[in-house]
Structure 1
């Protein structure tokens, strides 16, 4: 077993067996998002606002970010930003106000100012 897996908490050895951690892909995706968000925060001076399931985030779609786990939209609310899974429906909406609500690993998008409270 590679030592990095054990050090990173992705696997452990039990005798001759290697046991993989649960939700390994989710863990790797979250780490990748955290690294990308740190880079964006350094470049923009904005603070990352993580997206929690069921909560709405709103902001101007500034750019897309391509990661190994997929493409994400960067929503800038003026004080912080969120990375939200990309959908083709927002391709022509860069520079516009958008709102997104996470549902598990899915996302629903609204164009224009959101109707109701938002994170941020």
Structure 2
């Protein structure tokens, strides 16, 4: 149950530190304080509700969606202006790949949430 809060928060912290060179975890907490409180309240709320009995099948769609979104986030930084993947004359565009991977991840998450079964 604590993993509901800790795993996504750790991933977001990693991505913040990756995309903000020179930042520290304290900078993350200070700049995202309200979002962290909201996330913690939501995780606590979902943890305490016993009436929620939704089951999802962890098909490859969840992991494909997670992987493509994670990869898109990593590609995002070098594809910014003056980045390694920012070359307007190249056929391989980092920004286009970022959009493509984001779309793939949303489709995969859609397919994953379609496996949800209500067990009331």
State whether TM-score is above 0.5. Answer: no
* More helix per residue: 2
TM-score, length basis structure 1: 0.26
* More strand per residue: 1
Pick 1 or 2: higher relative contact order, CA cutoff 8 A, min separation 6: 2
